[in-house]
Amino acid sequence: MRSGYFKQDFDALVALTDSRVVKFWVAALLVALVGLPWLANAYLLSHMTVILFTLVAVLGLNVLTGFTGLISLGHVAFLMLGAYGYAIAVTRFGWHPLLAMGFAGAVPAIAGLVVGIPSLRLKGLYLAITTLAFSFIVSALVLAGGKFTGASRGIMVERPAIFGISLNDDKALYGFCLLLAVLTLLITLNIRRTRLGRAFVAIRDNDIAARAMGINLWRYKLVAFVISAFITGVGGALMAIYVNFVTVEGFPFLLSIEALAIIVVGGLGSVLGVVLGTVFIVSLPEIVSALFSTLGGGYAEVLTTSAHEIKSMLYGLAIIAFLRLDPRGLLGVWHDIRHTWVHWPLRY
């Protein structure tokens, strides 16, 4: 007889879920997300699109930092390479948009292999500084690329038509981002359940013990870099399609901090935590902006003139608050709420 949430066999342990309640709410959420374009206004639809392509990019970082425990401060470089890879493929080579999406993932994946090899013996702060330096190198190479990369002028990117559906329509673009976000979620969830994912987690928890168990640290760390960079590159391509313009200035270091804030606030190493963290962090500036507008006076002007600094401060405060109050992040808060609801009134 089943008792609580304990698993009785291996199949139940590796299954995505065996709860009918979870399946019902996931199905309901998908139906709501599919129907959102016909219910939401243009502003909300645009905001949800940003959340979706940000989710794809941060799921890539979660493979590297959340699953494998390799801290990266230069993940914006993979995002930039994905955006430029897509832009160059469609504007310079004239490739089909879907083929360009694959190229947008392949370019950062190769770069991840290049930066991963010299980083194999590094960990912690030293690895973080190495990846940060890599992001500056990528920016410098793009700026030195001349007409091929657009240098400081950037590259204009038109929204393509895929399977006869033009992504110029905001509803179509939202649907395309939703499709890729769901596919990326399923891929990362299944990676976590496989032998590969278990090796990643073993390296994160204790690399010495993982080596003693026969796990090749070098190979699995490189695989983590490549998978992470590929997924992040696809997120960069979606970002390029959304903004219609790719330039180095569009990929500041703040994006790396935002991605780290998402996985810390959401819950390190959890796919559900990445979803919760993405919604929270991407919506946080909008919530503060609405609050400042309500207060009136000079607050709205401060937010307009110092948007970059306000965002940096908000991300820093969010990270500090969750590390101090609940290191498990929003996922831990959700678990507490669920357990309280399920076991009420016998919770205490």
Write out the H or E segment, with its range, that includes residue 226: helix 217-243
Neighbours of 220 (CB within 10 A): 18
Structural domain includes residue 36: yes
Tell whether 107 is covered by a domain: yes
Supply the pLDDT for residue 2: 46
Is 287 inside any structural domain?
Answer: yes
Parts of the chain with a pLDDT under 50: 1-3
In a domain, 6, yes or no: no
Q: Give yes or no: residues 58 and 92 share one domain.
A: yes
Is residue 7 in a domain? no
Give the domain-ending residue among 251, 273, 301.
Answer: 251
Shared domain check, 68 and 210: yes
Residue type (1 letter), 277: G
pLDDT of residue 24: 84
- Whether 141 and 262 map to the same domain: the answer is no
pLDDT score recorded for residue 88: 93
Q: Are residues 33 and 109 in the same domain?
A: yes
pLDDT digits (tens, 9 = 90+) for 55-108: 999 999 999 998 988 888 888 999 999 999 999 999 999 899 999 999 999 999
List the structure tokens of 84.
């430029």
Last residue of a domain, one of 251, 272, 288: 251
Instruction: Say if residue 220 is in the same domain as residue 83.
Output: yes
Can you give the pTM of this predicted structure? 0.89
Task: Compute the Cα dihedral for 85, 86, 91, 94 and give only its sign.
Answer: positive
Same-domain pairing of 170 and 303: no
Q: Which helix (H) or strand (E) holds 246?
A: strand 245-246
Whether residue 160 contacts residue 256, with contact meaning beta carbons closer than 8 Å, is answered with no
C-beta of residue 89 within 8 angstroms of C-beta of residue 103: yes
Domain presence at residue 2: no
Q: Is residue 347 situated within a structural domain?
A: yes
Beta-bridge mates of residue 246: 155
Q: With respect to residue 89, please indicate whether it lies within any of the assigned structural domains.
A: yes
Considering the domain architecture, whether residues 232 and 87 belong to the same structural domain is answered as yes
Q: 73: closest CA among 274, 232, 254?
A: 254
Do residues 55 and 184 make contact, with C-beta atoms less than 8 angstroms apart?
yes
Q: Are both 240 and 286 inside the same structural domain?
A: no
Residue 1: the pLDDT is 40
Q: Give me the number of domains the chain comprises.
A: 2
Check whether residue 157 and residue 97 sit in a common domain: yes
Same structural domain, 201 and 78: yes
Query: What residues make up the domain containing 228?
Result: 17-251
Q: Are 241 and 258 found together in one domain?
A: no
Task: Please indicate, yes or no, whether residues 201 and 258 belong to a single structural domain of this protein.
Answer: no
Q: Which of 235, 251, 267 is the last residue of a domain?
A: 251
Q: Which pLDDT score is estimated for 4?
A: 54
Q: Distance (Å, rounded) from C-alpha 139 to C-alpha 112?
A: 15
The mean pLDDT of the chain is: 84
Q: How many helices (H) and strands (E) does the chain have?
A: 15, 4
